[in-house]
Amino acid sequence: MQPINILYISYDGMTDPLGQSQVIPYLQGLSNLGYAYTLISFEKPGRYEKNKEHIGALLKQSNIDWQPLPYTKKPPVLSTLWDVWQLKKKAYALHRQKQFKVIHCRSYISSIVGLQMQQELGVKFIFDMRGFYADERVDGDIWKLSNPVYRQVYNFFKKKEQQFLSMADYTISLTKKGKEIIHTWKNIKNQPVPIQVIPCCADLDLFSEKSVDAGSLQQLRQRFNLTGQEYVLSYLGSVGTWYMLDEMLDFFKVLLRFKPGARFLFITGEPASDILSKAQSKGIPQTCFIITPAPHSQVPTYLALSNCAVFFIKPVFSKSASSPTKQGEIMGMGLPHVCNAGIGDVDDIIDEKSGVLIKTLNEAGYDKAIQTLLNTQFEKKYIRQRADEIYSLSAGVEKYRQVYASICPPGPK
């Protein structure tokens, strides 16, 4: 049987960490099932030059035809219009060569071209929304609606969102909560529109205790002056826009009352000065902190230094459609974690055997959560099992296969 030709469009780059964790693994799995991918992505020049050989070889191994385009950042708005024009030109040229059956669009900007191709060429269009994009830009103070240009851009994307949801052959939501919200919207045609829920899956072969080398772990302990007896709280990822650094530092400050020798490990590429200056203003000694980047392949070993992980995310409307990638990775390591309520499906995912959910981000809430945390015997095996149930990459690949098969039968055997 002839493989089904699919054009996958991502405005995120494959040389970005996000592309490597949240695009390539899915496409590799689906390629193994017989789907033939052409991949257009927008690459940031520095990262592209550094990683293009590695990523190109990785994609070639799975017979994925990678067609990278340069990402332009400035000037705002106009640069995005230029990128969309470049994308449209490239996508239509490739379609003339390959006659795609499906256009799979990651997020909103890619979907502008995907929807147009569906309407003009009759290909199937998948809107892989990745969250409420326009509302995220506003909630994150990236688009200030007091600025008439940004207000116009916001209104444009909200109108596009309505069109994408109404006309997509299938929509992918990261959360059940996002799906429920969309199905209440009266301005969407053909309700209830078809939506598949696929969270941000994790590579649970990598994020596993089994992938941690004991010798490497001991070397890290020596490097960071850890004896193995300290209580180590960890945070994984960037600390900008959505992540509530002030509140996480306040939480750690309360933890120090219970565990005076505790250390706060930040596994991040962010400048240490950004974290330490805020810690200093709160009276937390710099000696409490370990702030370090880590290659993606070594993150599990760094996480293995910790007793517990924490992440607090701004509980705004747009985050109801978000799936924190770090949650699946942390749970894959069997680590208990502390997070705040009101983010995507987090409230349903975390339970009393896998961590602590904080409903009130204040000193009393932190005190109560830490007492619960320290008085609970968490089982790594159970937390890992929950990760397998919710964040398995193979389960995510299978859900995508079901979507493809439903809109473009028969699928490959």
Name residues of the chain where pLDDT drops below 70. Answer: 1, 410-413
Q: Tens digit of pLDDT for each residue in 183-230?
A: 999 999 999 999 999 999 998 999 999 999 999 999 999 999 999 899
Instruction: Give the pLDDT score at 96.
Output: 97
Domains 5-199+393-407 and 209-391 share a fold: yes
Phi first, then psi: give them for residue 125, nearest 5 degrees.
-120, 120
Cα angle 259, 264, 267 (rounded to 5 degrees) comes to 155
Instruction: Give the pLDDT score at 412.
Output: 44
Q: Going by CATH, does the domain composed of 209-391 fall within 3.40.640.10?
A: no
Cα angle 301, 307, 311 (rounded to 5 degrees) comes to 90
> How many Å apart are CA 23 and CA 26, to the nearest integer?
6
Instruction: Give the pLDDT score at 21.
Output: 86
Instruction: Give the pLDDT score at 413.
Output: 44
Phi first, then psi: give them for residue 20, nearest 5 degrees.
-75, -30
The DSSP annotation for 59-88 comes to HHHTT-EEEEEE----STTHHHHHHHHHHH
Instruction: Give the pLDDT score at 18.
Output: 86
Instruction: Give the pLDDT score at 1.
Output: 62
- Residues sharing a CB contact under 8 Å with residue 56, sequence separation 6 or more, in sequence order: 66
Domain ranges of the chain: 5-199+393-407, 209-391
- Tell me which CATH code domain 5-199+393-407 carries: 3.40.50.2000
Using CA atoms of 397, 161, 103, 61 in order, give the dihedral in degrees to the nearest 10: -50
100 to each of 12, 35, 155, 380, how far by Cα in Å?
21, 11, 31, 45
pTM > 0.85: yes or no: yes
Using CA atoms of 335, 370, 254, 285 in order, give the dihedral in degrees to the nearest 10: -20
Phi first, then psi: give them for residue 337, nearest 5 degrees.
-145, 155
Q: Helices (H), strands (E): how many in the chain?
A: 17, 13
Instruction: Give the pLDDT score at 295.
Output: 86
Instruction: Give the pLDDT score at 374.
Output: 97
Considering only CA atoms, which of 92, 100, 116 is closest in space to residue 164? 116
Q: Is the dihedral of CA 223, 228, 230, 233 positive or negative?
A: positive
